[in-house]
Structures are given as C-alpha cells and as structure tokens.
Structure 1
Amino acid sequence: MKNWLLQMKYCSVVSVKQLGKLWRELPKEQLKRMEAVEIAEYLALPAQQSERFKREFFEFCLSDVLVELEHYKIQLVSIEDLLYPELLQEIYDPPLLLFAKGDTSLLASEKLAIVGTRKMTDYGKQIINQLVAPLCQESLTIVSGLAVGIDAESHREALRVGGRTIAVIGSGFLQFYPLENKLLFEKIVRNDLVLSEYAPHITARKWHFPERNRIISGLSLGTLIVQAEKRSGSLITADATLNQNREVFAVPGSVFQPSSAGTNKLIQEGAKLVMEASDIMEELC
C-alpha cells in the first residue's frame, strides 16, 4: 500500500481528510485496484478537480519519484510500517504516509510537544531555557513545528543542550516554510528528524498548519503551551491534544500580556500549570 499512498500524495487535489476517508471506508485491496475515475466519483470531486486528479493520477511515475526521494535523502514511513509511532497510530486521523529526513529512530523515543506564539517575548525565551534542558535529561525528545518564535526556540534549545528534537513542518521538503528557519531546518536534519505529511513539491497552505498540529500532539505524550494569544494556532494544538486523550500543560503569565492570555485560559480550563520540568514529569511518569 505504500506505493498507492505515495501516488495519492502526489495528487494535489486530494486532501488529507479525503485520503483518510478512503482509507477508513474502503478495503485496502479495493483501493489498490480502483481507477482514478472511481476514486474521483467516490470522493464526489467537482468536475475541474476531478479532471486534474485523473491527470495527476495517470502521470504519476513511481520510479521517477523514488529516484527524486533518494536524491534528496527523503525517507517514507507509512502507517503500515513497524517504524510508525504507536502513539500516532492511536489518533482518529493519523497521517497515512510521512516524508522524513534525518534520524527516524527518534520515532521510537518518548516525546513531549512544546508549542507557542510566533511573537515570543523574553519571558517565553527564559521559560524555554529553564525547561528544555531538564526535560531532555529525562530522555524526552522535543517535538515542535519549526515555526518562528517558541517552536524554533524549543528546537534550538534542545540542540544546544545535547537533547533530541523532531520538527513537523507544514510544507514539502523542497518548498520549505518559513524561510527564516531554513538553517535551523538543515541543522535538525543532520542529526535529528524532520517530518512532513506533504509531498516534497507541495507549498505551505494555511490549512496545512492545523493538519500539522494534530501530528505534533499525536506523536507526543503531552503538549506544553509556553505562550499563546487568545486566538492562536497553539490552542488548536491544545484542542488536538485533548481530543487525543493526552496531557495538556501550560505556563502561566501576566494577565497584562496578550501572549499569556491563551495559556492562562487553558489553565483556567484545567491544563496542568507548569513552573518547572518536574511539574510535567510527575504527570508523565
């Protein structure tokens, strides 16, 4: 099924949700035998999308794609592989195929997600510097989204203290976003791991990031929100964490700081208040 999943990932018209629908509702042997027109009809694709899907489906050349993936050292991890993380497989809508660059052995490690605002303050940076080292000493791999701000700082600090980190990005590897973190991306790839649900040529779209967030939380035993505004993508990750029956942790902040409004609200709603790493470890152990 890995080759079929790869072919579907190279059909840009089919969304993550539509691919999941096919996977959940139809027998795998039937999926492998279905023609493009049958898939388009089952998904009720509009005429223009249907024509584009059928064209991309027919034009897909497995050998060319495999050569490209090998050239760029991109590995494939499908939901049927033994390497696929058990925690991620448990969520309602797991990614069926992951593109990976780096050390895939990290998929078997115990992980904690750390996410937060792109508008990180000095307070947020101090929190990251205080918490990440002891968490890494507990052999937790730090998972985040390689976004500007708290995400990037979490990755950097894990690398700085000799810990391990996994970045989950919202674009394909050959269309990396955000460009400000390209050097950090390359540093993580060398010794740690970057994952994407999107084929290498796919550019970032706004809906990719909520989709990406469910993977960040799904890989992890729990999610720590360091700073977040009232309306923040980090709160989407917190919701995904709760839906996946995982632990949500939040760092409190000043009631006068917009960057703490989201985390303070999470604590009001029952998230575990975190002041030091032991607050997290006592829940995970």
Structure 2
Amino acid sequence: MKNWLLHMKYCSSISVKQLGKLWREFPVGQLRKMSAEEIATSLEMSEEQRERFKNEFSRFHLANVLLELERYQITLVSIEDACYPVLLRELYDPPLLLFAKGNIELLAWEKLAVVGTRKMTDYGKQIIHYLVAPLCKESLTVVSGLAVGIDAEAHRETIRVGGKTIAVIGSGFLQFYPLENKPLFEMIMKDGLVLSEYAPHVTARKWHFPERNRIISGLSLGTLIVQAEKRSGSLITADAALNQNREVFAVPGSAFQLSSAGTNKLIQEGAKLVMEASDIMEELRQ
C-alpha cells in the first residue's frame, strides 16, 4: 500500500483531502487496482484536473522515485507502519504517508507542540527560554513548524538544552521554506526529526500550512501557544488541537500587545493559562 500512496503523493493534482476521501471510501485492495480514470471519476474531478492527474499518474516511475528517496536519505512512514504515531492515527484526516529525515524513533516519544507568531517579541523569546528546558527535562519532545519566530526559537532552544525536537514543514524536502531557517532545518535532521506530508519537489502553498498544523497538534499530547495575534496561524493549530480532543495551553501577555491578543483570547475561551512548565505537566500527567 505504501507504493500506491507514494504514487498518489507524486500526483500534485490530488489534494490531501481528496486522498483522504479515497482512503475512507474504498478498501485497500480496490484502491491498488483503480485506474487513473476510475480515481478521477470517483473524485468528480473537473476536466482540467482530470487530464493533469492522468498525465501525472502515467509519468510516475516507482524505481526512479525510490532511488531519489534513497539518494536524499528520505524515509517513508505510512499509516500502516508499526512506527506510525498512535495519536496521529486517531485523527479523522491523518496524513496517510509522511516523508521523514532524522531520528524516526522520536515518533514514539511523548510530544508537546509549541507554536506562535512569526513576529516574536523579546517577551516571547524569554518565555520560550523559561519553559522549554524544564519541559525537555520531563522527556517531552518539542514539536513545531520551523516557521520564523516562535516556532524556530522553540526548536533552537530545545536543541540548546539537549532536548529532542520534531519539525513539521509545509513543503517538500527539496523545496524547503522559509529559506532563512534552512540552517536550522539541516541541524534538526541530524539529531531530531523533520516530517513532511508533501513529496520532495513540492513547493510551499498557502493551504499547506493549515494542513501541516493539524499534524503538529495531532502528533502531540497538547499544544502550547506562546504568542499569537488575533488572526495568527497558530490559532489554527489551537483549533485543530481542540477538534482532536487535545489539550490547549496559552501564555498570557499584555493587553496592550498585539502579539498577545490571540493567546489572551484563547485563555478567555478556556485554554489552560500557563505561567510555568508545571502548569503543563500537571494537566498532561492526568
């Protein structure tokens, strides 16, 4: 089944939602035998999408793709694999195939998502430094999205204190985004783990990031929002965590700071207020 999923991932005309629909509606044995035309018809593709999909479907060469993955040391983790994270498998729309580089064993560790604004302030940086070390001492793996700002700082601080971190990115490995975090991306792959739902040559698209966010929260026991504006993408991660029945934690901030408007609102709506790492651990250990 992994080879069929890989084939679909190399057809960029099929979205994550469409692939999930196929998985839910058809038995595995039938999926393996379906032609491009049958898949296109079942998904009610437009004529333009249908033609594009059929071209991509016919151009796929498994042997060449496997050689490329081996060349770049990219591992495949499918939903059928024993190492696939239990919490992620619980989702209504789990990623069916993940591309991975780094320490796959981290998939089995307990995880906490730490995310926040790209416009990190000194206060946000101080909070990351204050909370990450004690969380790592509790053997939590820090999961984030390798975005500029809070995400990158959470990864960096975890590495600095000797903890383990997982980055979930919104592009393929060979089209990494954002470029300013490329050195951090390479650093995480050495001792941590980087995951992507997208084939290596896929460039980042705006809709990839909400899709990526459900994986960040889905991997984790809970999600900590450090700083977020009212319309921050981090709030999408918080919503995903709530929908997945996971804990949501938020650090309060000044009523006069835009970067705290989103986190303060989350606390008003019932997110657990976090002042120190023990506030998180008390909730998770229940």
TM-score in terms of structure 2 length: 0.99
The CA RMSD measured in Å over matched residues stands at 0.3
Gaps of 5+ in 1: none
- Paired AA for residue 119 in structure 1: K
- Aligned twin of 2:46: 46
- Paired AA for residue 272 in structure 1: K
Cα separation, 1, equivalents of 2:185 and 2:265: 32
Q: Does 1:236 align with 2:236?
A: yes
Q: Does 1:106 align with 2:102?
A: no
- Paired AA for residue 269 in structure 1: E
Deviation at 1:49, TM superposition (A): 1.0
- Aligned twin of 2:218: 218
Cα separation, 2, equivalents of 1:43 and 1:204: 24
Cα separation, 1, equivalents of 2:186 and 2:172: 14
> What aligned pairs does 1:86-101 form with structure 2 within 5 A after superposition?
86-101=86-101
Q: Per the alignment, in what secondary structure is the counterpart of residue 245 of structure 2?
A: coil
Cα separation, 2, equivalents of 1:232 and 1:16: 22
Cα separation, 2, equivalents of 1:271 and 1:52: 44
- Aligned twin of 2:83: 83
- Aligned twin of 1:206: 206
Cα separation, 1, equivalents of 2:274 and 2:83: 32
> What aligned pairs does 1:25-36 form with structure 2 within 5 A after superposition?
25-36=25-36
- Aligned twin of 1:278: 278
Deviation at 1:185, TM superposition (A): 0.1
- Aligned twin of 2:73: 73
Deviation at 1:48, TM superposition (A): 1.1
Cα deviations by residue, 1:234-277 (Å, 9 ceiling, x for unpaired):
00000000000000000000000000000000000000000100
Q: Does 1:10 align with 2:28?
A: no
Cα deviations by residue, 1:186-208 (Å, 9 ceiling, x for unpaired):
00001110000000000000000
Identity %: 80
Q: Per the alignment, in what secondary structure is the counterpart of residue 146 of structure 2?
A: coil
> What aligned pairs does 1:240-259 form with structure 2 within 5 A after superposition?
240-259=240-259
- Aligned twin of 1:261: 261
Q: Per the alignment, in what secondary structure is the counterpart of residue 51 of structure 1?
A: helix
Deviation at 1:136, TM superposition (A): 0.2
Cα separation, 1, equivalents of 2:40 and 2:268: 46
Q: Per the alignment, in what secondary structure is the counterpart of residue 283 of structure 2?
A: helix
Cα deviations by residue, 1:28-67 (Å, 9 ceiling, x for unpaired):
1110000000000111111111111001101100000000
Q: Per the alignment, in what secondary structure is the counterpart of residue 127 of structure 1?
A: helix
- Aligned twin of 2:148: 148
Q: Per the alignment, in what secondary structure is the counterpart of residue 93 of structure 2?
A: coil
Q: Does 1:227 align with 2:217?
A: no
- Aligned twin of 2:121: 121
Deviation at 1:148, TM superposition (A): 0.1
Q: Per the alignment, in what secondary structure is the counterpart of residue 194 of structure 1?
A: strand
- Paired AA for residue 81 in structure 1: D
Cα separation, 2, equivalents of 1:94 and 1:190: 26
Q: Per the alignment, in what secondary structure is the counterpart of residue 188 of structure 1?
A: helix
- Aligned twin of 2:133: 133
Q: Per the alignment, in what secondary structure is the counterpart of residue 167 of structure 1?
A: strand
- Paired AA for residue 190 in structure 1: K
- Aligned twin of 2:21: 21
Q: Per the alignment, in what secondary structure is the counterpart of residue 163 of structure 1?
A: coil
TM-score in terms of structure 1 length: 1.00
- Aligned twin of 1:57: 57
